[in-house]
């Protein structure tokens, strides 16, 4: 394996591990906490606002700094969205994502992180998520 490929994969591993650790520490891998945050009409738990604010506080300035570079450290070019319009696929996908997050208390990142718990509900959620991704790929790609 070439040195750039090893560096690229190592950076992916470090970034993913740091992201997963952040999700676990913040409580995003606890569906009850997430559902409590989404339940604004009931027993609302606003603590995840701090997680979002911290994420934005790091990401917004970092994007400005990173995008000043001619290219990423371990890739030939940046992979940025080219389209800026809203279409039915985007709106449908966002709605399904939101419904799934609200019903299950998980979105993909925290669900993958929570797999380490070996909880049957988490494994079922991830299996259903992967099945949905495969079905989408078979039917729509």
For residue 37, the SS3 value is: helix
Q: Would you say residue 102 has pLDDT above 90?
A: no
Select from 114, 138, 108 the least CA-distant residue to 29: 114
Q: Would you say residue 83 has pLDDT above 90?
A: no
The model's pLDDT over 21-65, given as tens digits with 9 standing for 90+, comes to 988 898 888 999 989 998 889 889 999 899 889 999 999 999 999
- Average pLDDT of the chain is 90
Distance CA 110, CA 22 (A): 10
The model's pLDDT over 106-125, given as tens digits with 9 standing for 90+, comes to 888 899 999 989 999 999 99
Residues 6 or more apart whose Cβ sits within 8 Å of residue 140: 89
Average pLDDT for residues 76-89, to the nearest whole number?
Answer: 89
Chain centroid, CA 56 distance in Å: 14
Distance CA 51, CA 53 (A): 6
How high is the pLDDT of residue 66?
A: 92
The conformation of residue 71, written as its DSSP 8-state character, comes to S
Select from 9, 36, 31 the least CA-distant residue to 107: 31
């Amino acid at each position: 394996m070439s040195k750039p490929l090893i560096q690229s994969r190592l950076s992916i591993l470090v970034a993913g591990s740091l992201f997963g650790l952040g999700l676990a520490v913040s409580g995003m891998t606890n569906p009850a906490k997430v559902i409590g945050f989404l339940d604004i009409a009931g027993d609302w738990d606003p603590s995840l606002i701090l997680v979002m604010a911290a994420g934005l506080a790091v990401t917004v300035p970092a994007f400005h700094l990173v995008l000043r570079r001619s290219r990423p450290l371990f890739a030939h070019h940046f992979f940025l969205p080219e389209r800026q319009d809203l279409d039915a696929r985007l709106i449908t996908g966002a709605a399904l994502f939101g419904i799934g997050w609200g019903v299950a208390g998980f979105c993909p990142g925290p669900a993958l992180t929570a797999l380490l718990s070996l909880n049957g509900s988490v494994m079922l959620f991830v299996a259903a998520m992967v099945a949905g991704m495969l079905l989408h790929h078979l039917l729509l790609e």
